[in-house]
Structure 1
Amino acid sequence: MERAGDGLTHFNEQGRARMVDISDKAVTARVAVAEGRVVMAPETLRRIREGAIAKGDVLAVAQIAGIQAAKKTSDWIPMCHPLPLTGVDIRFSDDGTNTLTITAEVKTTGRTGVEMEALTAVTAAALTVYDMCKAVQKDIIIDAVKLLAKTGGKNGDYIGLAEQQES
């Protein structure tokens, strides 16, 4: 079994999981952008856009859920460090037919990145859309949750393949 000194940073010398020590990492500005899709019937998307879902303003509630989730990521993901976030922005767009796209941008100045916070924000926002619309449609699909880009840190910047092709 590989140990901490063998390249696997999330295991101690006994081969047990540990939270990585980031004490010696440089404090840098870090940003991560993630995206996910919620696919639904055209009628459901129309009702979201028109504010005709009985539980209320779906996008407003999903936006708040995404922000809250980003702030609480370390409560959900065991090896994530609790981070002081400096910004969280949740945006929505749709294709006019049946797909709502959720994008989250999360920022911090710290010793570790915010990729997990951005992914968690998108996922929580998507789950909230489902929760608010499940009385209208049960077979809503949440998919394509992915990291689009990240900046900062010792590993440098990352831009997803699809975003590279658009550039």
Structure 2
Amino acid sequence: MTIACILVILPFCLALAAFSDLFTMTIPNRISVILLGAFIIVAPLAGLGMGEISLHIAAATLVFAVCFCLFAVNIMGGGDAKLLTACAIWFGLDASLVAFLVYVSIFGGLLTLAVLFLRRQENAILASGIPVPQLLLTAKKIPYGIAIALGGFAAYPSSPLMEAAFAQLS
């Protein structure tokens, strides 16, 4: 049961956040709450000790502090900040968090370029009938939840919880 939770919860929540952000330009708070709550339940069951769990909480706290500052100066949306924080607790304070953040940055840059390109081609897209969410073309912001999800998918296999799940399977 623990292994199934580790394999399913983070990827499912990331996919849900990405689709929500794509179509509504919002990330529901309940996704971040589910990620935080599920980690608190799953981590001890996966064999993480209190010291390791503390490092995961420290990672989330650090990411939250940086994201809060970016939100305060209107560089980052609140949903993105909460989702990044909730994901950081799953990666912990080690190389997998750095990998996650690097992947998010790379995918975020590519996403921004793609969205800006689509917005420049809005008339052609609308004329050709290509199904593109209207908010993607008209909103002033970038649905960064997509980049966060892609970064999470890329980095999650090397995360401490996945390593613990694979160790339990062996």
**TM-score by structure 2 length?**
0.27
Q: Which structure shows the higher strand fraction?
A: 1
**TM-score by structure 1 length?**
0.27
Larger Rg: 1
